[in-house]
Every structure is written in C-alpha cells, then in structure tokens.
Structure 1
C-alpha cells in the first residue's frame, strides 16, 4: 500500500470516528466543535486524496472505481463539508462570494455526473450498476444546488433552517465515508463479516441519525430551548 493510500485510508477512519463523536456529544459545546473541526479537516483530506488517486493512480491500485466517479464524488464531498462549515461560520442572514461559488460547483458536479452517466449508459451491455449511481449522485447534487439557490435568493439563512442545512450536509458527508468503508471495502475485512448486517447498519447509521436530528430540530422546541444553540456564533 502506497503512503498516499495509507494517508487516504487513515483520514477516512479519523473522519468516521470524529463525525460519530460530533454527533454523540451535546451540540454547540466546545467538544462538539472540536470533533467537528477534526471531521471537517479529515474529510477535506480524504476527498482531495481520492481525487488525486483517481487521476494519477491506475483504477486497480486506487480501489477499482471509475476515475470519473471518484473525482465527482470527491468534489461533491468537499462541497458538502465546506458549505456545512461555512453555514455556521457565516453570520445569520448573510451571503457572500463563497455561497455563489459553491452553487456553481454544485451545478458543475451535477452536469458532469449527468454526462458521465449518459456516456456509461450508452456503452453496449452496460449493467444498470454501471450508470445508475451517476444519476443518483447527480440528483443529489442538484438537490443541494437548489438549496443554495434558494438561500442566495433569500439573502441568507437563519434559525432552524441554518442548523438543518449544517446538519444534513455534514451527515451526508459522513454517510459517504461510512458507506464507502463499511459497505464498499468489505474485501479488507475478515471473511466472516462479508455481507454482515452489522456492516450494513454501520454504513447507513449516519442517515438514521440525520433523520432523527432533523426531526428534532425542525419539529420540536429543541433549538429554542437548548442554551447552547447559539454557541456556534463564537466561531466567527
């Protein structure tokens, strides 16, 4: 295993652990922000290295995924954690060049994934598994871009919407990391664990936690009642 691949895998493991820790502690407190910072930096590292490995390392050595898929998902992951991070860094009800640039990135990733998917689907005898994921990720990127556009048109975001935006983007980035590791890399695990329900549960756990917190944030008084919900302002 090359040094870059070791760093890539290590950063992914740190990202999964720090992301899980950030979700486990009280939101807005110093510990939550510390784990969140580690997760943010880890995901930037693992995504940047995924892009590099996809471009410069043969697919068999980099894990077998098509370079177009690895590069697109890598950029999408960087976009998710960066916009989630900036959501709590930016003053409520304000936008800037970053948000407008992020929208362009999301639209660019959407277009690229659609092109890659159509190209893969046009190849004779290609199974759905060879092109459907492109369209799934394209739809997801388009959904995220729609949220960016709405925020820009409103002149910013605040309150519950702001927390929800930060939450779902970070959780999806964690889901990408967890699912790629626990579901996509079972070959590096003991044979008896291949296809294990435990690995499936670990892979989709970030989505389940995200749903729980989105419901709690959007439909309960947690945001208003929690004395720490404004603690993220200290990051500015």
Structure 2
C-alpha cells in the first residue's frame, strides 16, 4: 500500500502540473475573456490545493523540506487573495482578505526569522536550504503584504488597482509553480544536458516579464481590464 508521503507527493505533482498548464493558458488568453476566466479558475484551484499539499509534505519531512511549508502557505494565500482582489466589494470579501493578510504577515515574519537564523549556522543553511532561499520567499510575501495593506486599508481602491493586485498575486503564484516544475524539484525529470543549459529558467523569466507588461498595461489604462 502506498505511503502517505507518496500519495501526497503524487497529488502535489499532478496538481502542480495542471496549475502550470492552466496558468500558461490564462496568461496567454485575452484578459477577461472566457478562456482567461476558465483557465484562471482551474489555475487558482489547482495551485491552491498543490500549495496546501506541498505545505503538508514539508511538515511531514521538516528536516529536509521545511521551506516548502512556507512556500505552500504563500502559494495558497496568493491564490485566495488573488481571487478576493477582484471581489473585494462583495459581502464578506474584505474580512476574508483581512484574514489572509494576517496569515501572510505571520508567514513573511517566519520566513525572515528563518533566513536570519540560517545566517548564523554553518554554511548559512537551515534544514538543507540556504538563507537566501528563505529571504527570497520573504521578499515575495512582503510584496504581497504591501498589496494586502493597500487593499484592506486603502480609502479608494480603484478598479485598476484591484486588477493589478489580482495580476500580481496570480503571476507570483505562477512563478512559484513554474519554478518548482522547471528549476526546483521538478528539474530532476529533465536530462542533465537540459538542466545545465539554462533553458529551464526561461519559463520563470517569461512569467516575470509578462507580469510587468500586464501590470503596466493595466495601471496605465483609464479604465481597468474587465474581470469577472
């Protein structure tokens, strides 16, 4: 009978693969169109579930995968807040956003603390990961945290900024999913020649550039792109 770790890992990989495919479709499709909305929903659900499973795997194997607990929490909060960003005016949405913002703040603080503690250890590594890895995730969580404060406490959150926050969260989540698949643990599925060529870094670079493009296009428009 398969072990719990194997079951969780298999489900995590399957959902993560689905998230990468759906994220690529959503990013390439016309924003606000049926393809974008449909693929976006699949991405948000599969990425959220994959993140939670990743966090569970990290907790079960904390001695070697503890950082995935933080990465999983970050991925899940990004998906929830990304959806809530376009529904912030719906009844109860603001309270949900506040709850997610608090969880994200605790996670960001824990990432910074872990990164700082790692710098005091031999080779600056904690549970197998370098301090820079913790600080990198802290940076992503901090970016989302600034947006959290803007969405919760901003007196006048325009449609453009709602959509920009949605784009930012979904693209960071997609960046994490692609990184896990191509330059993280998923890289082991590729031949050595491919791994050492640098080509596996292209998806992350592409996502980052497209994120900047769509943020610029959204924020410069007189009216935001429609989202449902």
Q: Give the structure-1-normalised TM-score.
A: 0.84
Structure 1 residues 197-206 or 77-86, which shifts more? 197-206
Structure 1 residues 40-49 or 82-91, which shifts more? 82-91
Q: Which residue of 1 aligns with 2:213?
A: 212
Give 5+ residue unaligned stretches, structure 2.
none
Separation of aligned partners in 1, 2:218 and 2:161: 9
Aligned pairs (5 A) from 1:123-202: 123-126=121-124, 130-155=130-155, 157-184=157-184, 185-202=186-203
Q: Secondary structure at the match of 1:125?
A: helix
Aligned pairs (5 A) from 1:76-87: 76-87=74-85
1:96 Cα offset (Å): 2.2
Alignment of 1:230 onto 2:226: yes
Distance 1:73 1:231, change over 3 A: closer
1:195 Cα offset (Å): 2.1
1:231 Cα offset (Å): 4.7
Distance 1:127 1:230, change over 3 A: closer
RMSD of Structure 2 on Structure 1 (CA): 2.4
The one-character-per-residue Cα deviations of 1:16-60 (angstroms, maximum 9, x if unpaired) are: 00001011111112221110110011111110110111112476x
Q: Which of 48, 52, 63 is matched with 1:48 structurally? A: 52
Alignment of 1:33 onto 2:37: yes
The one-character-per-residue Cα deviations of 1:157-207 (angstroms, maximum 9, x if unpaired) are: 232111111001100100001012111132221222112232111232211
Number of paired residues?
221
Does the aligned pair in 2 maintain the 1:179–1:204 contact within 8 Å?
no
Q: Give the structure-2-normalised TM-score.
A: 0.87
The one-character-per-residue Cα deviations of 1:83-115 (angstroms, maximum 9, x if unpaired) are: 0111123328x9621121122112101111122
